[in-house]
Structure 1
Amino acid sequence: MEAPKLQLKLFIDTKANKLILAEAGKDFVDFLFYFISLPISTVVRLLNKKSEVGCLDDLYAAIENLDNVYIQTDMQYLLDPRGAVPCTKVPLLLSDLKAPKVYTCSYIHTQNNYVSYVYGSYCPDCRGSCNSEVTDVVSHVAKCKNKIDTVGFVKRAATFMVMDNLDVKPILSNTSFFTLLKKFGVKDLGEVEERDVEFGPNEVLKLVKASLEGKTVLTNVFLRNKGPEILKEKDEDRT
């Protein structure tokens, strides 16, 4: 099954070959917000231990290579931690990331309106413990009386502009893109190209690496094709 891809609309300064801004919907912004919550060790691992960020690769390798005789805990919690932020159905979650477990009360008479990410947490319904793992979080939350929208982080009705440095701002309904472009110093609209692009798993890895290297992230991902060596190694690992 082919991995899903998100849609973005880029506004490009063709003279400078640089992104001015991107128009994005809820799905892409949800992904960006989830990305900032990733543990450092997860980022290093996703980049094949070639993040090139200071000494993080060396520290990761040191933990990975430490002999078990010196270890008193499971090092997988360090090298392959679960996602830091509990949120269901974030698009393009990297396939090897583990979602955190969710627990509810198993008492037969409770309405199961409460869930917890900590095993054994206090249940306000029956004053017992949340010790029953929820296997289908989305369906369970939908049944709860105290419902909240746990699908992603931002509201679906909103549209956002994403800057080259991943700054995210909502686009007001009464604001035209021509007005926005002028705010960014664009004087000649003839030099602006509007381009629809797809954002999939390959672009995810490029974005992770580019965001660690500088502030022209989307330009590097879509216009300058940064990070091919990382993607090549990832593809070789899958074969």
Structure 2
Amino acid sequence: MSNSKVSMKLLIDTKEKRVLFAEAGKDCIDFLFHLLSLPVATVISLLKAHGMVGSLPNLYQSLESLNDTYILPDQKKDTYLKPMPTVSSSSVPLLALTGAGKSQKKFYRCGSCFGYVSDERGATCPSCFLDMSSNITYVAPPAAKSSSEGVGLVKGVVTYMVMDDLMIKPMSTISSITMLNKFNIKEVGALEEKVVTLGMTEAVKLLKTSLQSKKVLTDVFF
């Protein structure tokens, strides 16, 4: 999926200054659920420049700063600092969130043999005993389509309701009326619709706010 932005339609209570809920399509819901698959290190690397609270950023920085002298020869810091996501990023919008749209795999071969590859630069070729230092670019296979719905996680035949606290469920007329009753909305004229777009900046802000607030949509967009 090539989309770099997704959108949702907010229903805002202008009197109480809060987002009641949002209407969102498949692309947006796929992205929100994709947040659950992000490795902790990826979340830290995204948020450490945005004032992430707690001590995990210190743990990340400690490993990032640790000299390679102290790392076992068969281990790599990037395995922990830049782990691969558990969900194929090619099936999820806002790929820039993880950077996984670009290959993170690197392989090497020697200059004369073609039967061996290594993921460690400088390894010894078992055939000619030369250093394996010639870079080979890894090409990922195309994302498989499991159905006519295409890629991603959820189906696109319905509109979804996203609550202020990121609770998500399929949307219907009844569910919308139920929500308005739940919020005790008496003045329909105080309600306002607003379409918002999520790019990289908004996505990172949403991720950070979701770790700190129960009013995510209100805090991010209102």
Q: Which bin holds the TM-score, normalised by the shorter protein?
A: 0.7 to 0.9
TM-score normalized by the length of structure 2 = 0.73
Aligned to 1:34: 34
Q: Is the 8 A contact 2:6 2:27 kept in 1?
A: yes
Count of residues paired in the alignment: 184
The 1:84–1:167 alpha-carbon spacing in structure 2 relative to 1, beyond 3 Å, is same
Aligned to 2:217: 218
CA distance in 2, matches of 1:50, 1:26: 28
Aligned to 2:81: 79
SS of the residue 1:204 aligns to: helix
Q: What aligned pairs does 1:50-69 form with structure 2 within 5 A after superposition?
A: 50-69=50-69
Q: Is the 8 A contact 2:42 2:98 kept in 1?
A: no
Aligned to 2:142: 137
The 1:88–1:52 alpha-carbon spacing in structure 2 relative to 1, beyond 3 Å, is closer
Aligned to 1:15: 15
Q: What aligned pairs does 1:1-239 form with structure 2 within 5 A after superposition?
A: 4-72=4-72, 73-86=75-88, 88-94=90-96, 96-98=98-100, 135-138=140-143, 141=144, 147-148=146-147, 151-172=151-172, 174-175=173-174, 177-223=176-222
CA distance in 2, matches of 1:4, 1:69: 39
Q: Is the 8 A contact 1:159 1:171 kept in 2?
A: yes
TM-score normalized by the length of structure 1 = 0.69
CA distance in 2, matches of 1:152, 1:29: 9
Tell me which stretches of 4 or more aligned residues in structure 1 moved more than 6 Å: none
Q: Is the 8 A contact 1:83 1:97 kept in 2?
A: no
% identical equivalent positions: 41
SS of the residue 2:211 aligns to: helix
CA distance in 1, matches of 2:140, 2:202: 30
The 1:155–1:53 alpha-carbon spacing in structure 2 relative to 1, beyond 3 Å, is same
Q: Identify which range, 211-220 or 27-36, moves more after superposition.
A: 211-220
SS of the residue 1:94 aligns to: helix
SS of the residue 1:166 aligns to: coil
- Aligned CA-pair RMSD: 2.5
CA distance in 2, matches of 1:85, 1:135: 14
Could you tell me which amino acid in structure 1 is paired with residue 205 of structure 2? Answer: K
The 1:4–1:100 alpha-carbon spacing in structure 2 relative to 1, beyond 3 Å, is closer
- 1:100 Cα offset (Å): 10
| Structure 1: 5+ residue stretches without partners | 102-132, 224-239
Q: Is the 8 A contact 2:3 2:93 kept in 1?
A: no
CA distance in 2, matches of 1:175, 1:100: 43
| Structure 2: 5+ residue stretches without partners | 104-137
CA distance in 1, matches of 2:97, 2:214: 26
Q: Is the 8 A contact 2:164 2:217 kept in 1?
A: yes
CA distance in 2, matches of 1:216, 1:192: 18
CA distance in 2, matches of 1:135, 1:212: 32
- 1:97 Cα offset (Å): 2.5
The 1:150–1:83 alpha-carbon spacing in structure 2 relative to 1, beyond 3 Å, is farther
Q: Identify which range, 37-46 or 181-190, moves more after superposition.
A: 181-190
SS of the residue 1:213 aligns to: coil
